[in-house]
């Protein structure tokens, strides 16, 4: 059976799980704790990082960006990249925006400082980084509002990998209670639409030992 090695708090792992569900591709989930540097994970991916997809025939596909493209190529039903080169360029631009820029400016400052540093044995959180993450997220929520005022979904008329990448990042920050949804009603409205998709439900049901998300986290009418 096809297997996805993932880390449930990692936005890139979440976005592949959502994409697989959207495309109705069955997969066994293998939970990884990347900081443990488990031998099997290192064998599959010398970088020691999740997500890693292992196909039935043994083909190993490494990293969210690569798995994302691979799934669109090999399983063309329910396409999530866009219909022409222009649409695909816009979808990919926004996927990179959330995978790279949001990750660097928000997720590393909040998720990494508040939860991952301890797991990776790197000591306690840096309060300056947390403040920066909380300031930076406002710019991204404004950008989501700007986009959704002009388009049905982030990259255009159709639900796409851009919505998945953005919602996967935000879901992790929301798990920690760090999204001020009330100040960004358009972004909240867009996120509620993503949340209500069946593909998103398993993500919202995940919890991490010793932590608890805020009450609105899994609530579809938050």
Q: What residues make contact with a second copy under the rule CB under 8 A?
A: 46-47, 59, 61-63, 65-66, 69-70, 73-74, 85-86, 88-89, 92-93, 96-97, 101, 143
* Minimum CB distance to a second copy, residue 69 (Å): 6
Give the nearer residue to a second copy in terms of CB position, either 75 or 217: 75
Output the six-digit token pair for 42. 């290192």
Based on CB atoms, which residue is closest to a second copy, 62 or 111?
A: 62
203 forms beta bridges with none
Q: What span, in angstroms and rounded, lies between the C-alpha atoms of 176 and 171?
A: 9
CA–CA separation, 62 vs 50, rounded Å?
A: 8
d(Cα 141, Cα 188) in Å, to the nearest integer?
Answer: 9
The least CB distance from residue 148 to a second copy, in Å, is 15
Distance between CA atoms of residues 53 and 40, nearest Å:
13
- Say if CB 1 and CB 46 are below 8 A apart: no
User: Residue 12 or 199: which CB sits closer to a second copy?
Assistant: 12
Least Å distance, CB 222 to a second copy, is 28
Residue 75: how many other CB atoms lie within 10 Å: 15
Nearer to a second copy among residue 35 and residue 222 (C-beta) = 35
Minimum distance from residue 93 beta carbon to a second copy (Å):
5
């Amino acid at each position: 059976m096809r297997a996805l090695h993932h880390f449930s708090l990692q936005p890139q792992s979440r976005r592949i799980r959502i994409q697989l569900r959207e495309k109705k591709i069955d997969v066994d989930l293998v939970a990884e704790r990347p900081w443990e540097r488990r031998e099997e994970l290192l064998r599959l991916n010398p970088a020691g990082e999740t997500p890693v997809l292992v196909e039935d025939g043994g083909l190993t596909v490494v990293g969210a960006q690569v798995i994302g493209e691979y799934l669109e190529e090999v399983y063309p039903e329910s396409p999530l990249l866009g219909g022409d080169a222009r649409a695909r360029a816009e979808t990919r631009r926004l996927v990179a925006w959330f995978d790279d820029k949001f990750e660097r400016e928000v997720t590393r400052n909040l998720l990494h400082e508040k939860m991952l540093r301890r797991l990776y044995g790197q000591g306690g959180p840096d309060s300056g980084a947390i403040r920066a993450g909380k300031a930076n997220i406002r710019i991204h929520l404004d950008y989501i509002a700007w986009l959704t005022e002009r388009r049905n979904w982030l990259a255009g008329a159709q639900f796409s990998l851009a919505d998945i990448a953005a919602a996967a990042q935000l879901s992790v920050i929301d798990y920690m209670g760090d999204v001020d949804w009330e100040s960004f009603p358009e972004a909240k409205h867009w996120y509620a639409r993503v949340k209500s998709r069946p593909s998103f439900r398993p993500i919202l049901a995940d919890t991490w030992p010793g932590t608890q998300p805020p009450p609105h986290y899994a609530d579809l009418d938050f």
